[in-house]
Chains A and B, each alone.
Chain A
Amino acid sequence: MNENKKIINPEKRRDIIKNILIVFLIVLLILTFFSNTIMNHSLPEIATESSISGSLTEKLNASGIVESNQSYEVKAKGNSTIDEIKVKTGQEIKKGDILFTVNSEENTELKEAETLLKSLELEYQKMLLKLPKNYATENQTIKNAQEDLNALIAKRDEAVSNQAENDSKKSEYNQAKSELSGITSELADIQMYITSLNTDDIYSIGSEYTGNIIGIYEEYTKAQSELQKAESELQTFMMSPDVSEEMIQSLQDKVNQCSDYLDQCESAYKSEKSALHNTLNDRLDYLNGESDRLNSIINNYESNLSADDILTVDALNEQITAKQRELESLVIALEDAKKQDNLESQSNDIDIKAKHEEIEAQKLVVDKIKKKDSEKEIKADYSGVVSQINVKIGDTVLPDEAVAVIDISEEGYTMTVSVEAEKTKKIKAGISVDVLNDWSNSINADLVEIKNDTQNKKNRILKFKVSGNVNSGDTLSVSIPCSTGRYDTIIPKSALNEDSNGKFVLIVKSKSSPLGNRYFAERVDVEVLASDEVSCAVQGSLNMGDYVITTSSKPVQSGDQVKMKD
């Protein structure tokens, strides 16, 4: 069984392998058959044109925006809302045609103007209400100063007239003051003498009052010392045992005698002291009386004269001078104040006048705004073509806001284009140019002027006069004919490519293979000699009859395989 299996298996295996090989080859064959189809599907499809020789009129293409030679802006006269737009862009209009109907709305400008007018009027009235300046206070002060001065002058005059009497009174007063001074001194001495007398200090008493009392007093003191001596002696002897009676008696007697004598001296002294006491008291009384008298004179003088009375005429003169200067300065200050006030008053007058004028001007503004608000239509001031409408229905427009622009058709249209000066060398002014984007063939353009471009010195400006069915703002492309030449290789402009290495064309090279012809793109660098709007004459390794790629379904690079368009 196993052996059979072994024998059968190699055959089966071979069959399977053979089938696999056949299938593999068939699959590859089918894929090969369809390979070109599949690959071509992914290749970029190109369109080609062959290069030719011939003549080419070089043309310069340029484009610019048409401008009206004159236009004006239609402006709203007041705050309003656009109710209806009566015209369309491009519409021809005549002077006086209604362009917009508007609905005036609450005018904020008017409100503001009125508010300003009110505030100005209020300010004006406030300025008028200002009190005129009076100088009562200053005048009163000057008047007071004048009176003070007059009083001082009177006082000085009086002082001048009473000067002799015042001098005698003053002399008396001065004498009294002098006397009082002596009396006061003496009074003090007398009081001191009395005190000294009372204390038996008689040597302190002035000699004019002592008289005999000093002798009497000395006798008295002498009797006292003798008595003391006798008594002392007696005592001494009495203590001694050897002393006789007689001796003691005799000493006793002596003591007695001394005592009697002392009594006599004491009595004499006392009487003399009493007499002196009386004398001193009398003198004291006299001096006190005299002192009182003088004091009354002085007090009377001093009480009768005030501080001003005491002042001299010179002092009064000085006061008068000061007062006069004060008075003068007050007068000058008053004059200055008056001048200043006068100036201010004049300035105020000017301000008031200006304010009044301002109020008048504001009134005019308010009136003007009110007048503007009352207008319901915006009309065309000139005939022309509406080139621009800046508003929509329902838009709110402000005064002097441009709502539309109208080209004044009578003035015509122009177009200016700035081109490289090098390109303009072959162009002459005065030629008619083709308008490329004029599908209705209703626009005419003439090159009227070639001038230098002041903004870009490398360029020149071409000025065209444009007429026909054209409006301001239209963009026109024009083709300006230059010179005509004959060239060997002319290719479609669409075949021309450019990269960082310069201008080039892609030509088609075919290569035959067992699977058929294959086409490859090949780069050929060229130099453009001349060109018009569709063709260009080139110079390079390009032969007449070479097929150049004009369009392709995908980006093509040199060396890429391509598919020719069916």
Chain B
Amino acid sequence: MNIRKKRKDFLFKVLLTVFAGLVAIVFLMPTVLTITNSFMTSSEISANYGVMFDNISSDKKTYISDTLNLKFIPDKVSFSQYFAVLFKSPEYLLKFWNSVILVVPITFFQIVVALFASYGFARYDGKIKQIIFFSYIILMLMPYQVTLVPNFLVADKLGILNTRWAIILPGIFSPFSVFLLTKVMKRIPTSYIEAAKLDGASEWQIFRHICLPLCKSAVFSVTLLVFIDYWNMVEQPLILLEDKEMHPLSVFLSEINTGDVGLAFAVAVIYMIPTLLMFLYGEDYLVEGITYSGGIKG
């Protein structure tokens, strides 16, 4: 009976592993494809995917292959795309720094604002607080595209349209991180704070020396999530920044059909690196923070 159950469990595990493997392949394939294709020559990429871009773009061109050809192994490994991106095309580097210029302040200030806001939400009670927090949740639940038009109108009113502030300012006051950090801070035992108060600690000292260290992992995970979210933004720059020179690299990647098809994969890989490194850096914090904010850990 015991052996039978073990066998059943083993079979179940095998099936589950196979299923998970298949799903993993499906999800990993675009990334692997991007990395391997970045080592192809631009002519090979045009031959393989030219038709797809031809269908998307308006200027009809004639390509060698009239079918889409997914290729993982390059005919000839070449660094020409990287060379072109890094040495011959300052606009791509510029767009990378555009992304950095937009994302770093947003992430930093959003976390700062979120930390203070969430401390307030966690520490103080009152009806107004509840209404504001509820409105935060409502805002968070709304898709970003819904708030895009009001954002545009406000930015226009403020005279910051077609400047980076039009993206940075709405980004700083994002409800997502506030909500997440509030949940985390609410879990900090009140006895810690009362003990500190008894010891004569001010609100800043309580925030600085008790709350922040306890929320460290959550802060990092929120930072990472916010960074990834804004690193990949497309709609905001497209709507709020008329000048293409100020567009981040993510917009270029979304408009790749009209740009240099050959450079797309190399740019994508380069663009992937900061996010990947950040994820690898705070992998432990991320897991910890998410689980902590989810209430698994007491």
Q: Which residues of A contact B (CB under 8 A)?
A: 10, 13-14, 17-18, 20-21, 24-25, 28-29, 31-32, 35-36, 38-39, 42, 513-515
Closest to B243 in A: A513
A-B residue pairs, 3 tightest by C-beta: A35-B90, A21-B277, A32-B93
Roughly how many angstroms separate A32 CA and B274 CA in the complex, as a whole number? 16
Report whether A35 and B284 are in contact in the complex, using a CB–CB cutoff of 8 Å: no
Q: Which residues of B contact A (CB under 8 A)?
A: 86-90, 93-94, 96-97, 100, 245-246, 273-274, 277-278, 280-282, 284
Report whether B88 and A38 are in contact in the complex, using a CB–CB cutoff of 8 Å: yes
Residue in contact with B277 in the complex, picked from A17, A36, A515, CB distance below 8 Å: A17
Report whether B93 and A513 are in contact in the complex, using a CB–CB cutoff of 8 Å: no
Q: Name the prevailing secondary structure of the B interface residues.
A: helix
| Residues of chain A lying within 8 A (CB to CB) of residue B87 | 31, 35, 38
A514-B94 contact given A24-B274, A42-B88, CB 8 Å threshold: yes
**Contacts A/B (CB < 8 Å), 11 sampled:** A21-B274, A21-B277, A21-B278, A25-B274, A32-B94, A32-B96, A35-B93, A38-B88, A38-B90, A39-B88, A514-B94
Tell me, rounded to whole Å, the shortest Cβ–Cβ distance linking A22 to chain B: 10
A20-B88 contact given A514-B94, A514-B245, CB 8 Å threshold: no
A10-B284 contact given A20-B277, A21-B274, A36-B90, CB 8 Å threshold: yes
Roughly how many angstroms separate A14 CA and B279 CA in the complex, as a whole number? 10
| Residues of chain B lying within 8 A (CB to CB) of residue A25 | 100, 274
Report whether A515 and B88 are in contact in the complex, using a CB–CB cutoff of 8 Å: no
Report whether B277 and A31 are in contact in the complex, using a CB–CB cutoff of 8 Å: no
Report whether B88 and A32 are in contact in the complex, using a CB–CB cutoff of 8 Å: no
Report whether A18 and B281 are in contact in the complex, using a CB–CB cutoff of 8 Å: yes
Report whether A21 and B88 are in contact in the complex, using a CB–CB cutoff of 8 Å: no
Tell me, rounded to whole Å, the shortest Cβ–Cβ distance linking B284 to chain A: 6
Roughly how many angstroms separate A28 CA and B249 CA in the complex, as a whole number? 14
| Residues of chain A lying within 8 A (CB to CB) of residue B89 | 35, 39
Report whether B281 and A14 are in contact in the complex, using a CB–CB cutoff of 8 Å: yes
Residue in contact with B90 in the complex, picked from A14, A24, A29, A32, CB distance below 8 Å: A32
Residue in contact with B245 in the complex, picked from A13, A20, A29, A513, CB distance below 8 Å: A513
Roughly how many angstroms separate A380 CA and B97 CA in the complex, as a whole number? 86
Residue in contact with B94 in the complex, picked from A17, A18, A513, CB distance below 8 Å: A513
Closest to B284 in A: A10
Report whether B97 and A32 are in contact in the complex, using a CB–CB cutoff of 8 Å: yes
Report whether B277 and A39 are in contact in the complex, using a CB–CB cutoff of 8 Å: no
Report whether B94 and A28 are in contact in the complex, using a CB–CB cutoff of 8 Å: no
| Residues of chain B lying within 8 A (CB to CB) of residue A21 | 274, 277-278, 281
Roughly how many angstroms separate A35 CA and B95 CA in the complex, as a whole number? 12
Roughly how many angstroms separate A208 CA and B282 CA in the complex, as a whole number? 195
Closest to A35 in B: B90
Report whether B86 and A31 are in contact in the complex, using a CB–CB cutoff of 8 Å: yes
Tell me, rounded to whole Å, the shortest Cβ–Cβ distance linking B170 to chain A: 22
Tell me, rounded to whole Å, the shortest Cβ–Cβ distance linking A39 to chain B: 5
Roughly how many angstroms separate A28 CA and B284 CA in the complex, as a whole number? 27
Tell me, rounded to whole Å, the shortest Cβ–Cβ distance linking B163 to chain A: 13
